[in-house]
Amino acid sequence: MLTTMDSQWSNQQKSGASGEFAFTESMTDMLRDALMNNSPYILALTFIVSCLHSIFDMLAFKNDIQVRSLILCAIFSSTKLIYNLLFVFLISSIGETKVHYRE
């Protein structure tokens, strides 16, 4: 497994891949140490926990979007109500100024 990783990374470096996605020697050594010095059960558990964390993070983001949309609907409906009341008040006040009462 390590020989195939080494050959793929060396081919990547030979092809001129650079930037943030290219592996350096220190990165390959660190990954090799992590794979060789840790138990496969711990690595599998870490992978499962990372996947569960990602799933719960996506669900929390979805829920946050839903809550924010409900809050925005409530805010916009209340502002619509305020504008409607203001409009009715202005119309009624204009109508009252034009009416002259006889005494």
CA 17 from centre of chain = 29
pLDDT at 62 over 60: yes
- Tell me the DSSP string of 14-63: HTT--STTS--HHHHHHHHHHHHHS-HHHHHHHHHHHHHHHHHHHHHHHH
Q: Is the pLDDT confidence value at 78 over 60?
A: yes
Q: Are 35 and 43 in contact (CB under 8 A)?
A: yes
SS3 24: coil
Q: Compute CA 39 distance to the chain's CA centroid, rounded to the nearest angstrom.
A: 33
Is residue 15 scored above 70 in pLDDT? no
Q: What was the pLDDT predicted at 101?
A: 52
Percentage with pLDDT > 90 across the chain: 13
Q: What is the mean pLDDT of residues 10-19?
A: 64
Residue 40, pLDDT score: 84
